[in-house]
Each structure stands twice: as structure tokens, then as C-alpha cells.
Amino acid sequence: MATKHHHLSDYDSNTVPDASNMRFAIVVSEWNGEITSKLKEGVYHTLLKFGAKKENIIIVSVPGSFELIFAAKRIIQNIHPDAVIGLGCVIRGDTPHFEYVCAGVTQGFAQLNATGDVPCIFGLLTDNTMQQSIDRSGGILGNKGDEAAITAIKMAKFACDFK
């Protein structure tokens, strides 16, 4: 569904499982930090809202969005969370760098999900303009972080149900 027709922070709270016994890792890109910090806040507060304990939320920073993949993999191997949430923001520029980074991160998270047992949530904004990123990180379209947190809780429950 296109974001244009869907507020990112809208969800039915009755469909969200209790997160009180779940552990989460949030991996945040420092690049475009004014955006990713707002995404992180959205994730953190939404996890707490649904019962996650502060001590069960690990937050790690990496330099850029491409590094989210490596960090997620290492966190899974060493910390064993119930879900990992990768947060980044890539804004289209004048070179093909945007396409390479977006495709690489997308493929990396897809591979982690296809080959692993821990859900890795794709919270990467891939916008054409800074304004679009602002709108999706707590602006007029809500916060993609809220959506990523809800997805993490639901997928952690799903993974637990099928162990």
C-alpha cells in the first residue's frame, strides 16, 4: 500500500501481541541522523507501549545504512534477540549510489530473513527528498519507526509460535 494513502502510525492495537517477554535489537544508521533518530524514538516508544522492558531493548549505531546488515547478523549471533529492527535513511542524489545502497540493504535483509531464525525488520526509508523522509519519520505521514516496531513484535511472536 502506498504511503500516500496510509498513515504509517495507524494500526489496530488489539492485534499487537504482548511484548513483555521479548528481546529486541534496534540497529540505527548514523547517516541522516536527524531522520534516523526520530525513527529510533518511534520504535523505542512503541515497543515500550506494548510491554517491552527497557532492559530488553538493545540499541546499536552504525555509520551508514549498508552497515545495518553486518550489525544485524552479529547481533543475532551474539545477543540472540527475538527480532532485529534496522533503521536507516537514504535520500536520492545525483549519482547511482542511492540505487546501490537501497538494493544492497534490501537484499541483505531479505537474505537474513530467508536464511535465519530471527526476524529482521526493514526500516529503511528510501526517499526522493529530505521532505519525504521528514514526513515519514514523525511528520504528516506518521513514523515508519512505529510501523517497524509493530512488525517486529508480530514477527517475533510468529517466530516463537513456530519454534
Domain count, the chain: 1
* Residue 16 is assigned to a structural domain of this protein: no
* Residue 14 is assigned to a structural domain of this protein: no
Q: How many residues would you count in the chain?
A: 163
* Residue 11 is assigned to a structural domain of this protein: no
Catalytic residue IDs: 97
* Residue 57 is assigned to a structural domain of this protein: yes
Any residues with CB less than 8 A from the CB of 137 and at least 6 apart, and which? 35, 36, 38, 39, 42, 89, 125, 143, 144, 145
* Residue 8 is assigned to a structural domain of this protein: no
Expressed as residue numbers, the domain containing 146 is: 22-161
Rounded to whole angstroms, the Cα distance separating 27 from 50 reads 20
The pTM assigned to this predicted structure is 0.94
CATH code for position 149: 3.40.50.960
* Residue 4 is assigned to a structural domain of this protein: no
Mark the ranges of the chain whose per-residue pLDDT is less than 50: 1
* Residue 147 is assigned to a structural domain of this protein: yes
* Residue 127 is assigned to a structural domain of this protein: yes
